[in-house]
Amino acid sequence: MTALAQKAPMAPVTRRGGAPARPLRLFAGLLGTIVVAWLIINIFLALAFYPQWFLNSRPLIAVVGMIAGLGGAALLFYCINVFVESMPQRFAQGVIPYAFLLPGFAFIGLMLLFPTVQTINYSFADDSSTKYVGFDNYIAIFQDSTFWQSLLNNALWLLVVPAITVAIGVVVALFADRLSAQGEKFAKSFIFLPQAISFVGASTVWGALIYDRSSETGLLSAIVTAFGGDAQDWLRVDVARLNSFLMMVILIWLQAGFAMILLSGAIKGVPEETLEAARLDGANERQIFFSVIIPQIKGTIITVFITVVIMVLKVFDIVYVLTNGQANTNVIALQFFQELFTAGRAGRGSAIVVILLIMVIPVLIYQVRHYRREQGK
């Protein structure tokens, strides 16, 4: 009787799926998510448009931005976690991926889609972005001979740089894999080292130590004069686009290590049994390379090639540092910079960006389709 008289503690009311009902915690998580997101957005808007609130101090603005970004992100995900955990289990399992991906997609939308839409909008406006002028900016650009010169130079970069970069990456990866363990590490580290140098730094070094006109400081001039030739201001020599080719060498030097690392991993992934079977069938090393290795790393080759193509379409730093577009070396990205910041023509600058975006989109679409095909195998 005593045991019956004692009331057993009541179990919490549960929803279907086993999760206890916590409506207050659910509401608190949702409200916290909304409030934190609102605060983050407004803090960054204040940093962008009202720097006087932060004493126009760049260090202070940077510190506040870091605190708001890191702390805000942590608090936001905490509130999202509280919200999701308070839901019935059958709903929570389906909501969790979307709940935690949503802030990332929102950030991408804010940082990428919004500027893209604004740029397209400004491309139809005048230089002060206050009045719409229709397609006048695009008409002016297509009637400008310097634009077509820049487009031609970009096409030349596209024909040369990606193909040579991938070829060097494949060759170096193939031969480095045949070295000893220590030799392979040294070779790959040496080839990959330029990746640690910025485009501006690399351009400055090559311009001063390789392409300088003086035979005392410029390696190229020293070699030419040693064989009886004349030193030249090499980056001003546009005969047969020599100056453009010399700048392409710098980009190839910078990107060869990136290509080598990815392609080396792909080559190591080729099954040894396949190679041995080809050797037993009488194939020589050249036949094995072209008929066995290349087909099996084709997906990686395409990925590296497309990545370098996108890099080439955006090339700016090298040309800006070495020639500033003079001597027929201008490229699309540099012309945008000159239109916007030198000539002060915001409308034309935005139109050039839109044209560059249109050029990149087909490459991105192909890369996505290629990735899906590879995943479907």
The model carries a pTM of: 0.78
Q: How many other CB atoms are there within 10 angstroms of residue 306's CB atom?
A: 17
The answer, yes or no, to whether residue 87 has pLDDT greater than 90, is no
pLDDT attached to residue 67? 93
Q: Between these two residues, 88 and 123, which has the higher pLDDT value?
A: 123
- Find the range with the poorest average confidence among 104-118, 128-142, 298-312, 344-358: 104-118
The answer, yes or no, to whether residue 250 has pLDDT greater than 90, is yes
The answer, yes or no, to whether residue 174 has pLDDT greater than 80, is yes
Query: Coil, strand or helix: which one is 298?
Result: helix
pLDDT attached to residue 377? 59
The answer, yes or no, to whether residue 276 has pLDDT greater than 80, is yes
pLDDT attached to residue 11? 47
Separation CA 304–CA 170 (nearest Å): 11
Q: Give residue for tokens 């634009």.
A: 147
Token pair for 240? 């047969």
The answer, yes or no, to whether residue 14 has pLDDT greater than 70, is no
pLDDT attached to residue 90? 76
* Percent of the chain whose predicted confidence (pLDDT) is above 90: 44
Average pLDDT, stretch 160-170? 95
pLDDT attached to residue 8? 47
Q: Between these two residues, 264 and 12, which has the higher pLDDT value?
A: 264
Greatest Cα pair distance, the chain, in angstroms, is 116
3-state helix vs strand vs coil in the chain, percent to 5: 75, 0, 20
The answer, yes or no, to whether residue 272 has pLDDT greater than 90, is no
Q: Please name which of 289, 283, 308, 282 lies closest in space to residue 363, comparing C-alpha atoms.
A: 308
Query: How does residue 112 score in pLDDT terms, banded at 50, 70 and 90?
Result: confident
Separation CA 99–CA 258 (nearest Å): 35
pLDDT attached to residue 3? 46
Averaged confidence pLDDT in the chain: 87
pLDDT attached to residue 149? 92
Helices (H), 177-271: 181-192, 199-209, 219-226, 242-268
pLDDT attached to residue 20? 54
Query: How does residue 21 score in pLDDT terms, banded at 50, 70 and 90?
Result: low
The answer, yes or no, to whether residue 17 has pLDDT greater than 50, is no
| DSSP for 125-176, written as a single string | B-TTSSSB-TTHHHHHHHT-HHHHHHHHHHHHHHHHHHHHHHHHHHHHHHHH
* Tens-digit pLDDT profile for residues 192-231: 999 889 999 999 999 999 999 887 788 999 999 988 888 8
Token pair for 174? 């193939």
Query: How does residue 139 score in pLDDT terms, banded at 50, 70 and 90?
Result: very high
pLDDT attached to residue 125? 93
